[in-house]
Amino acid sequence: MPSMFESEKLLDASRHFKKIAEQVGMMFPYIEWDLKRAGIKVEPLDYLMISVYLVIITLVISVFIVGAPLIIAGGSASYIGILMPFILAAFIGLYCIILPKTKIERRARQIDNNLEYMLKDMRIQLASGVPLFNTMVNVSVGGYGECSVIADRIVKDVQSGKSITDVLDDAGMASPSEYLRRALWQIVNAIRSGTDITVALEAISKDIRVMKEEKIKLYSHELNLWSLIYLMFAIILPSLGVTLLLILSSFVGAAIGETILWGVLVVLIFFQFIFVSFIRSKRPQI
């Protein structure tokens, strides 16, 4: 699915902020490589122009929709009405800044999930005498997710007349995955030096396997700690807390209402939902 930063309408609307974008671009010298590794097919200046446009539009719209009604209401709400548009605009600006980094990390995980199997497939094909280009063609249709997408791009670049070593070198530079970058550069070095490519691929496959095993071990250790935290805050603390409230209410002479108990239940359900989502996000994708 294409990013909203690839929209021609947004790009045309943001042309007026080119000067501001050029000044902002001086603060982010690596934005070009971040966009390439994130897979966002937009020129750096265009990305910054659209980002500035979104920030300004958010500021203007929020002033009329959020700020003005709160300021008119008066009192303490007026201070919120003054600050809220700037907070929303800052949030959009922060989103535009971290979006490439977030997509790079997501693409790196997707690549690493299938990279070991792709390298094994390549090693078997190369050991069987299949040429490297034909191997890349087979990998591009092999169903290896993001790895197949990158392989397909490599095949198309080679078919357009570029040298396969130059294409692999450029793909390694633009790769969000460190292991894929190493694999492609090892292939390039093997081609240029005339050594066996399968040896390099086997070494990288072992490194990836060790990395996955380390992630599983680390996750198991973290899971023990999070299990204790869950036991404390989801079971022990609510039960003891309600019991303590009942005991204290008998001394004070004020009964605990049903509303408090329902409130504790709602907070407990919300906590468990957030906790389970957090644990799921920490689980290694291998």
Dihedral sign of CA atoms 263, 268, 271, 273 in order: negative
CA angle 224, 106, 37 (to 5 degrees): 140
DSSP string, 162-215: --HHHHHHHHHHH-S-HHHHHHHHHHHHHHHHT--HHHHHHHHHHHHHHHHHHH
- pLDDT value at position 239? 81
- Alpha helix ranges (H) inside the chain: 8-13, 18-25, 31-38, 44-62, 68-73, 77-127, 132-140, 146-159, 164-174, 178-193, 197-230, 237-252, 258-282
> With 70 as the cut, is the pLDDT of residue 3 above it?
no
> Same structural domain for residues 146 and 81?
no
**Given this model, what pLDDT does residue 152 score?**
92
Amino acid 254: pLDDT? 60
Domain boundary among 106, 141, 174: 106
Of the candidates 175, 138, 168, the residue with the CA atom closest to the CA atom of residue 154 = 168
Q: How far apart are the first and last CA of the chain?
A: 24
Q: How do residues 126-182 score in pLDDT, each as one tens digit?
A: 888 888 889 999 998 888 888 999 999 999 999 998 888 899 998 888 888 888 888
Give the separation between CA 169 and CA 235, rounded to whole angstroms.
55
Looking at the fold, whether 11 and 102 belong to one and the same domain comes out as yes
Mean pLDDT, range 262-284, rounded to an integer: 79
Q: Are residues 89 and 116 in the same domain?
A: no
Which of these, 137, 197, 189, lies nearest to 168 by C-alpha position?
A: 189
Q: Which domain holds residue 153?
A: 110-208
Whether residue 123 sits in one domain with residue 96:
no
Statement: residue 1 has pLDDT above 60: no
Give the whole-angstrom CA distance, residue 109 versus residue 179: 11
58-88 confidence digits (pLDDT tens): 888 888 887 777 777 766 667 777 788 888 8
* Same-domain pairing of 167 and 143: yes
Same-domain pairing of 150 and 78: no
Q: Are 184 and 169 in contact (CB under 8 A)?
A: yes
Check whether 280 has a pLDDT greater than 80. Answer: no
The CA radius of gyration of the chain, in Å to the nearest whole number, is 27
223 and 272 in a single domain? The answer is yes
What percentage of the chain has pLDDT greater than the value 90?
7
pLDDT at residue 286 greater than cutoff 70: no
C-alpha triplet 110, 114, 118: angle, nearest 5° = 140
213 — pLDDT class (breaks 50, 70, 90): confident
Boundary-marking domain end, from 208, 234, 251: 208
**95 shares its domain with 9:** yes
| pLDDT band at residue 232 under the 50/70/90 scheme | confident
Query: What's the number of domains the chain is made of?
Result: 3
pLDDT digits over 29-57, tens only? 888 888 888 888 888 889 999 899 999 99
Q: What is the pLDDT of residues 96-132, one digit of tens each?
A: 888 888 888 888 888 888 888 888 888 888 888 888 8
Instruction: Pick the closest to residue 176 from 112, 128, 118, 237 (CA basis).
Output: 112
Write the CB contacts of 129 (distance below 8 Å, at least 6 apart in sequence): none
Tell me what pLDDT residue 206 has.
Answer: 83
Residues 119, 100, single domain; the answer is no
pLDDT at 228 over 60: yes
Q: Identify the domain boundary among 106, 129, 160.
A: 106
Answer yes or no: do 167 and 252 share one domain. no
**Is 118 found in the same domain as 97?**
no
pLDDT at position 285 is 64
The pTM of the full predicted model, rounded to 2 decimals, is 0.69
Do 84 and 158 lie in one domain? The reply is no
Half-sphere exposure of 178 (CA within 13 A, CB side): 4
